[in-house]
Amino acid sequence: METRQGPPPLSNEYYIPGYMVGLIGKTIRAEFFINNAYMDRVGILREVGVNYFVLQEISSRSFVMCDLYSVRFVTVLN
């Protein structure tokens, strides 16, 4: 019996990572819900994986890896 797999999430814009790949290089604000509290991070989207993404913070130029499953909202800033 053969099992068919769909396209990987990074290459399909119908999955969140696939959509976010198109935002690489843009400044975004990601809002997280962790331990019943909201927090946000703002930075330039540098990399997207299956379950994470990397932001480069604007003020410190530091890279921060973020858990994709904790994200509730992503705003693309102008």
Query: What pTM does this model have?
Result: 0.86
Q: What are phi and psi of 43, to 5 degrees?
A: 180, 180
CA distances from 17 to 1, 26, 50 (A): 30, 15, 6
Could you tell me the domains of the chain?
A: 15-76 (2.30.30.520)
What token pair was written down for 71? Answer: 């994200």
| Predicted local confidence at residue 41, as pLDDT | 95
Task: Report pLDDT digits (tens) over 2-61.
Answer: 676 766 778 888 899 999 999 999 999 999 998 999 999 999 999 999 999 999 999 999
